[in-house]
Structure 1
């Protein structure tokens, strides 16, 4: 039930409470009885059509919780939404053990036998047959959703009937005791005693804990094929411990709903690991009336590491800023002494590039071909040159390119790009210093493995604007924005706005915010005091996590009136659940 629903009419509010009451009475004889375990809370919420994750349950059933009242239960139902399409997809994938996209009789029977009410195979087959539209004896996702929703509705009807019987029996018992004739007055299923009252519960968490579920399915617009599509490639680069990346201007001539996705692209000779997290922040070119620059950012992702965000934008200019937490993308700690061979001599004594180096150059061409048209324009070559040499391509230098290789419609072909590097090897008589400068700048180590760069794909869709422009403007560190805001300042504010607050013990004006999305969790310290504070954070009790720092224990200095991103944390193993646990100590 959404917060909007809680502010709806008295009739809607009453119907909502009746639904909660019916679910509650399907488990207990009276709403005065207490929920005395986390398992009972889970079962009660499931009776209302909610399927809470471990993270959600632990938010309401902490280590200090002994019991929950009906009022508590109503409050939880009001805050937590009913099962969504994302939840159904996760459940579908969990039941679909062999991953073939269908749920068989055996798979469904196994899950129904292991949890909840036990059912025979014949009963499970009847459930499947009722929604199996193509009669293939198994369920696809659409049929599974239909089965779940119909089962939920049937369950609610049965709960309502059970509640009515209990209320009728209760009324008859009262009438028998006081002597009031049965049926002399009509009573409502909802009484004043059923209405929620303020909860007396007090949270006493000694450490900040949060379980985080695995990735969701992106809820992309259904008519996306009809939208206008603009795309670009780009890369993150690690340089002296700092992050550098392609950055974009986005010009929107008309108001429009937009859908933006971003995902990493695996290099053919890259690191063999889980995908680097790649997200997008959309900024205004000037602050709004409240001084805010941030419009939206990607929070939801699919199983392949693609993040997405949908929002409505007014016509104007925006900045699209890629971002990664650094949990899986860090500076290398050491470099191999063994160096791959880049250049060799043929039988005629001519210097040529090796096969391995040629393959890497082909990859570099593909990453630098930002619009993906198979060619490198002068602007794309200029961005490549700025990255590898720090200088723009002057007119006379571009003329040299035109003179030495054949272009196609004024753009460099892949063959031409390889030819340029072979000419450089020949001109230097086999000296590879400049060639290695190019490779190191593009994120490769001495073994020709890309470990200091992460290519990505950026896709922008507009529903109501056909001529939006996505323009790569730089490959650099993040600039300073209007109001002297750094990009870290903007990110910190967004995490504070969307995160959960907790005050740090011993400091009245020091708070820690925990922000969580589908892929990672971030801890932000906000010091509103007038003094610098030293805070020791200990996240070592977290489960199945890696961070953007080498240690899960560190001491930080937070300047007065400032915010600081203390940690980014994400799962070490994407296939397992993970949990963030953090304690703070003032030093």
Structure 2
């Protein structure tokens, strides 16, 4: 479908219609030359234009062989599919009124909102009802009393959405004109500077809050991504053959940081992912964030490079923000990082109430894996000079890197707390008062903290006491993911930055080095089920496969709602340009009754090339 609208004839009402279409399009894309390359994006951009397409409507425009749609295609669709009216709302409410009594009960609304579109929790649905339930009977009268209020609420939100889209369009148009003027000016002056447009890169953080956006859905009916305008199931593209076009790393969009970020309170900490040498599980530094007042928060995570690190050991990273205590539905997940820039930094902005939160780093395990074998020719750690044992030059360089990575706040010295975390990881023991007294007596300190030279002194002392035995030193190195060639290949360092807008005394600190999935198993499944695409597994009506596609990650979760354990075989061998967390792309999984499991994570092997995930499933007896 590639018919072109006659833009020259679009004047008056037609001109306003075209501008509305353009504003809706530019709320999702940076340029009208960008193409709609997924059904999910088509739904979003239509919703921005005030449409709420049903499965039947969408099937007319996004067929099984559709690869993309253009802006002109989008305009044509908007011409044919009119914006939602008050009558449409009434019809939708009547469909939700399952028992036909003229009211929408909490149970009726909850059934719709948790089975269609993007799922909502019971507490979120209740909050929606409470918003307009004046007599507090726990149900909504969609007839004469509440109907005008519903319509007004949704229509006003739609208008606000249009205004927000216009503002974003104007901003992008101004930026484009400025770039063109700069380019023209440079050309006239003989400059060789080339101003490149950010076209074809989607902006996720500048999209306006649509009437169907999930983030505002608890506030009113109009704020729900699961719109009440249609009760048809939205179509779910099958993850059995889903292509995720990988952008070149250099062209991934810049993260849109808050404009006044320099004025926010900033705390930071390094951390590391480790592979447990005994279990093979992924471990990592984990954090608590304490807020004394409500505030907007901007949090980023990115891998950092160390000299001793393997050249290809830059891994995928992400962050999950969890409540300290579960909500009414038993969920702890608040949000997680989804979008990444070209340098590997992920970021997420959200608003948090005063309280305590868990900040858990995450990596898929697709790139960070247990080494297959040890070197048969290990590097020497000690040498004998002038009658005593000292550390070698190669070992000293690695120790310097270890110090830099253990200096979590990056101030150039190692505090007692930082030294304690280093000791817990390398010896499973905390630093007691007696041990710290020895540190204070024998090592170089600065403001009560160990300097890099002091840390090297500590290792010199251990070398002197070793009598040439390197075993204990190798235990320390191996616990930090460093192999016999003094290369870090079973660990990866990262940097976390936390910015708070209104809370000047926010406390962000390391609280554990633990198995990553101890706290993330359920939140990770929840995130995939909320943000991913659902497909019913053939032959098992109560088994659903959810597939989430992020900028550089795909994840598959199996959800078993039946009352018996199910065994299913997944064959992902047809995937292209993919690395996986599993040793094989063809494995069988047992899913217990009323539970979910994470089956696979994928990342592109080469981010500059297209990558695709293809998965078929078979129920096993």
Fold shared by both chains (TM-score > 0.5): yes
- Pair 1:369-2:407 in alignment: yes
1:25-68 deviations in Å (ceiling 9; x for gaps): xxxxxxxxxxxxxxxxx9xx999936235445998745456999
2:286 pairs with 244, 247, 251, which one? 247
Report deviation, 1:18.
4.0
CA distance in 2, matches of 1:354, 1:547: 38
Residue of structure 2 equivalent to 1:73:
77
Instruction: Give the aligned partner of residue 303 of structure 1.
Output: 342
Q: Does 1:512 align with 2:511?
A: no
3-state DSSP class of the match of 1:273? coil
Post-superposition offset of 1:449: 0.3
User: Match of 1:322?
Assistant: 361
Structure 2 SS opposite 1:304 = coil
Specify whether residues 343 and 541 from structure 1 end up closer, same or farther in structure 2 by C-alpha distance, changes over 3 A only.
same
Unmatched 5+ stretches in structure 2: 1-12, 43-60, 84-116, 118-161, 202-228
Between stretches 465-474 and 137-146, larger displacement belongs to 137-146
Contact kept? 2:427, 2:476, Cα under 8 Å: yes
Closer, same or farther: CA 431–534 of 1 in aligned 2, 3 Å:
same
User: Paired residue for 1:475?
Assistant: 513
Structure 1 position 218 matched with structure 2 position 255: yes
Q: CA deviation at 1:128?
A: 9.8
| 1:237 aligned onto 2:237 | no
Q: Which residue of 1 aligns with 2:131?
A: none
The CA distance in 1 between the partners of 2:591 and 2:76, in whole Å, is 37
Q: Distance in 2 between matches of 1:385 and 1:324?
A: 24
Question: Closer, same or farther in 2 for the Cα pair 1:129/1:201, shift >3 Å?
Answer: closer
What is the deviation of 1:495?
1.1
For 1:443 and 1:312, the matched residues in 2 are separated by: 36
The question of 1:534 aligning with 2:594 is answered: no
Distance 1:212 1:131 in 2: 32
**3-state secondary structure, aligned to 2:598:** strand
Q: 1:46 to 1:416 in 2, by over 3 A?
A: closer
* Deviation, structure 1 residue 228: 1.1
| 8 A Cα contact 1:212 1:577, kept in partner | yes
Q: 1:545 to 1:85 in 2, by over 3 A?
A: farther
Q: 1:327 to 1:132 in 2, by over 3 A?
A: same
The 3-state SS of whatever aligns with 2:284 is strand
State the Cα distance separating 1:421 from its structure 2 match: 0.5
Partner of 1:447: 485
Q: Does 1:282 align with 2:321?
A: yes
Once residues 82 and 575 of structure 2 are traced to their aligned partners in structure 1, the CA distance between those partners, rounded to angstroms, is 28
Structure 1 residues 501-580: aligned runs within 5 Å: 501-580=534-613
For 1:575-586, list aligned pairs within 5 A: 575-586=608-619
Partner secondary structure for residue 351 of structure 1: strand
Tell me the TM-score normalised to structure 1 length: 0.71
**Contact map agreement 1:510 1:526 (CA 8 A) in 2:** yes
- 1:10-25 matched pairs, under 5 angstroms: 18-19=17-18
| Aligned mate of 1:438, from 445, 463, 476 | 476
Match of 1:136 in 2: 186
Contact 1:55 1:211 in 2 (8 A): no
CA distance 1:201–1:493, shift in 2 (3 Å)? closer
Contact 2:316–2:363, Cα closer than 8 Å, also in 1: yes
Contact 1:282/1:294 (8 A) holds in 2: yes
CA distance in 2, matches of 1:83, 1:342: 64
Change in Cα spacing, 1:338 to 1:579, as seen in structure 2 (3 Å) is same
TM-score under structure 2 normalisation? 0.67
Q: Which of residues 458, 463, 472 in structure 2 aligns to 1:420?
A: 458
Distance 1:581 1:76, change over 3 A: farther
1:206 to 1:460, Cα distance in 2 relative to 1, 3 A? closer
Partner residue, 1:51: 34
The 3-state SS of whatever aligns with 1:341 is coil
Are the equivalent residues in 2 in contact too, given 1:71–1:199 (CA < 8 A)?
A: no
Shift of residue 452, structure 1, vs aligned partner: 0.8
- 2:615 match: secondary structure: strand
Map of 1:260 onto structure 2: 299
Cα distance change, pair 517–400 in 1 and its aligned pair in 2 (3 A):
same
Structure 2 contact 577–610 (Cα < 8 Å) conserved: yes
Distance 2:68 2:37 in 1: 18
Query: What is the rounded CA distance, in whole Å, between the counterparts of 1:77 and 1:550 in structure 2?
Result: 50
CA deviation string 1:302-323 (max 9, x = no partner): 0111110000011111111111
1:355 aligns to what?
393
Aligned counterpart, 1:489: 522
Q: Tell me the equivalent position of 2:425.
A: 387
Q: For residues 15 and 573 of structure 2, what CA distance do their matches in structure 1 show?
A: 42
Shift of 1:295: 1.1
Number of equivalent positions: 464
**CA deviation digits over 1:503-558, x for unaligned, max 9?**
11111000011111112010110000111111111111122111111211111111
Contact (CA 8 Å) 1:241, 1:331: kept in 2 or not? yes
